[in-house]
């Protein structure tokens, strides 16, 4: 019987943003920053002969260019993140990771320690 698992690899980035679709006067419409925490989750059946689903190092390699593109930038200046809500950031990360991680199951963007968006693709 195959062993089904979900594996998680996390990364962090610091970035500024403002949310242009929020109402005038809303605090999130002003430029501000967050210490983002992102969980990238893959899922699948573990091949018995291997004993593991994917090398965590391979996940790290897939994530690295995304982390570099986001860390210490104004998210609104990045193509596709002109409205960088947690929801749009999660989708943006998914779209860039999915080709490199075909077993991608979920992207979780923690904008603060109490707020997160869980995204599982289209």
Q: From the CA atom positions of the chain, what is the Rg in Å?
A: 16
- Catalytic site includes residue 113: no
Query: Which of 32, 72, 82, 87 is flagged as catalytic?
Result: 72
Q: Which fold has domain 3-119?
A: Tetrahydropterin Synthase; Chain A (3.30.479)
Query: Which of 28, 37, 106, 117 is flagged as catalytic?
Result: 28
pLDDT at 76 over 80: yes
**What are the structural domain ranges in the chain?**
3-119
Return the closest-CA partner of residue 31 out of 40, 22, 39, 44.
22
pLDDT at 2 over 90: no
Calpha distance 51→91 (Å, rounded): 31
- Catalytic site includes residue 24: no
pLDDT at 19 over 90: yes
- Catalytic site includes residue 49: no
């Amino acid at each position: 019987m195959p062993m089904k698992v979900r594996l998680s690899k996390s990364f962090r980035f610091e970035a500024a943003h403002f949310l242009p679709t929020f109402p005038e006067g809303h605090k999130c419409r002003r430029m501000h920053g967050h210490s983002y925490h992102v969980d990238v989750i893959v899922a699948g059946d573990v091949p018995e002969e291997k004993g593991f689903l994917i090398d965590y190092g391979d996940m790290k390699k897939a994530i690295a260019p995304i982390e570099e593109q986001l860390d210490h930038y104004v998210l609104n200046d990045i193509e596709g993140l002109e409205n960088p809500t947690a929801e749009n950031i999660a989708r943006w990360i998914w779209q860039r990771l999915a080709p490199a991680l075909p077993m991608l199951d979920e992207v979780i963007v923690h904008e603060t320690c109490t707020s997160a968006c869980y995204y599982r693709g289209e």
